[in-house]
Amino acid sequence: MATIIGIAGFNGRMGQQVAAAATSLPDVVVSAGLNRGDELDDSLHIDVLVDFTAPEATIERAKACAHRGLPFVSGVTGLSPKQLDDLLVASETIPVFYSRNFSIGIGALLRVLPELSNALGGYDIEVIEAHHRHKADAPSGTALALVEALRTAQRPTYVHGREGTASRQPGDIGIHSIRGGGNSGEHTIIFMNDGEEIRIGHRALSRHTFALGALRAACFVVGRPPGFYGMEHLIDI
């Protein structure tokens, strides 16, 4: 039986991608598209709400879902610690699936990066991310997630363009943001020491891959107990 999905942020770029991707999957149906101001009406018969709005709206949608007992999936970036906390509170009542990047590849890398960062303890690390020229924020939410995964070995983060190259300390992880053209999203992690370099790169070929990941998350989360879920639950190792 198909999973019936509502999309919050339906007219946005990712909302439209999710709606389009759903048409290619036999076991998924989008039955509701919500935009700003649209209530989560009780008469809507959906199994899960997929949210690609913005931090404030995300928290409101999460609360409405918790009130109604509806599973909630969100791919929003830029949540404040307080907002992340609100999401966690909602996850005590409903299953909440949250990821800043719904690609399987990024999810798999996030799994192995802490191990690599430990094994390559004394190596310098820098992260380069590249996105299309219209992307407003820098660094990307995914770059920040990668750095969190790398920072297990107590390496501070450092964002180029904020503190300047000169202030970089040993052990810092630098982030460089490339903007231009139509790049759907590319992230590269470089480990360097005197004798060798390891480069781990991920490239999304289109935003379609993120939409498919969000739908996969939506199908996963329906019927689960309340809790806070992420890509690590989608990836079999």
Coil vs helix vs strand at 234: helix
Nearer to a copy of itself among residue 164 and residue 225 (C-beta): 164
Nearer to a copy of itself among residue 74 and residue 209 (C-beta): 209
Tokens of 214: 């969000």
Q: How far apart are CA 65 and CA 72, in angstroms?
A: 7
Candidates 63, 135, 176, 233; catalytic one: 135
Nearer to a copy of itself among residue 76 and residue 189 (C-beta): 189
Coil vs helix vs strand at 187: strand
Nearer to a copy of itself among residue 42 and residue 236 (C-beta): 236
Candidates 63, 67, 82, 131; catalytic one: 131
Catalytic annotation present for 131: yes
Q: Do residues 139 and 100 make contact, with C-beta atoms less than 8 angstroms apart?
A: no
Among candidate residues 171, 206, 215, the one with its CA nearest the CA of residue 50: 215
CB of 206 vs a copy of itself, minimal distance in Å: 6
CB of 147 vs a copy of itself, minimal distance in Å: 15
Count of CB atoms within 10 A of residue 235's CB?
13
- CA separation, residue 196 to residues 107, 125, 168, 180, 188 (Å): 26, 12, 21, 30, 16
Q: How far apart are CA 157 and CA 123, in angstroms?
A: 14
Among candidate residues 130, 56, 129, 113, the one with its CA nearest the CA of residue 87: 56
Catalytic annotation present for 135: yes
Concatenated DSSP letters of 86-103: HHHHHTTTSEEEE-S---
CB of 69 vs a copy of itself, minimal distance in Å: 32
Tokens of 61: 């949608």
Q: How far apart are CA 111 and CA 231, in angstroms?
A: 9
Q: Which residues bind a copy of itself (CB under 8 A)?
A: 103-105, 107-109, 111-112, 115-116, 118-121, 123-126, 128, 130, 132-133, 138, 160-162, 164-165, 168, 174, 176-184, 190-206, 208-209, 212, 235-237
Nearer to a copy of itself among residue 70 and residue 211 (C-beta): 211
> What are the catalytic residues?
131, 135
